[in-house]
Amino acid sequence: SQQGEEDPQALSIQEGENATMNCSYKTSINNLQWYRQNSGRGLVHLILIRSNEREKHSGRLRVTLDTSKKSSSLLITASRAADTASYFCATDVAGGTSYGKLTFGQGTILTVHP
Amino acid sequence: DTGVSQDPRHKITKRGQNVTFRCDPISEHNRLYWYRQTLGQGPEFLTYFQNEAQLEKSRLLSDRFSAERPKGSFSTLEIQRTEQGDSAMYLCASSFSSTGTGAEKLFFGSGTQLSVL
């Protein structure tokens, strides 16, 4: 079953605009990660935020985490056509027997028009 | 080090045949994961290894599926008596964890696209 749910399912913007994607999850986590996937390829890690962190930046990426609401957002600023891809959030569920694995959401398809 | 490699990239087989996929992780990584992804969905966890030990298997991994990681290096995923529902992208990923718990960032291969006719 999918732990994370992304919103929106698809996002279409113009180059230079900002893109915001949201992720909600159901159970306590150790960390939350965002990945990017170009069509027909493997996933590429973008950023990891731990449960005791609230915000992280990496280049044009900004990730926030609200553990009280069990939600995260990924902001891509000044988007480029090359950012066109599917974006997935993935959670490392805390406790139990599920340590060490990531559970992925269904993804947001981002299209950036030149 | 060229990252995680998977072989083959594409596999077409007839229903009922057995198939085997190989994954070579990044050499210093102690964890290796298998995921399955169907069109329009996120990757679904199948199984993972820490060194040579298989620590968890998803309920998605029926008795037709078996994974091995001999000597904690490369891994193979075998599907016996394939069914059309097995058609998917099979992704391998690896990571390094020094703490023994928690999931660090994963490095993915390009996947093996399986088509069962």
> Per-residue pLDDT for chain A (114 aa), expressed as one digit of tens each?
456 788 899 999 999 999 999 999 998 888 999 999 998 888 999 999 999 999 999 999 999 999 999 999 999 999 999 999 999 999 988 765 556 688 999 999 999 999
* Cα A88 to Cα A44: distance, rounded to the nearest angstrom: 10
Return the half-sphere exposure (C-beta side, CA atoms, 13 A cut-off) of residue B99.
Answer: 7
Residues of chain B with pLDDT under 50: none
Q: Which of these, B100, B96, B87, B95, lies nearest to B41 by C-alpha position?
A: B87
For strands B88-95 and B107-108, give the pairing.
Answer: antiparallel
In the three-class reduction of DSSP (H, G, I as helix; E, B as strand; rest coil), residue A67 is classed as coil
Model pLDDT for residues B95-108, shown as the tens digit of each residue: 988 765 667 899 99
pLDDT confidence of residue A99: 60
B25 touches chain A (CB under 8 A): no
Query: Closest Cα of chain B to A7: distance in Å?
Result: 13
Q: What does the angle CA B11 – CA B30 – CA B102 come to, to the nearest 5 degrees?
A: 105
Q: Which amino acid, B68?
A: E
Residues of A in contact with B9 (CB under 8 A): none
Contact of A85 with A38, CB cutoff 8 Å: yes
Contacts of B48 in chain A (CB under 8 A): 100-101
Q: Does A68 touch chain B (CB under 8 A)?
A: no
Residue-wise pLDDT tens digits, A10-23 = 999 999 999 999 99
What gap in Å lies between CA B86 and CA B82, rounded to an integer? 6
Q: Chain A within 8 Å of B117 (Cβ-Cβ)?
A: no
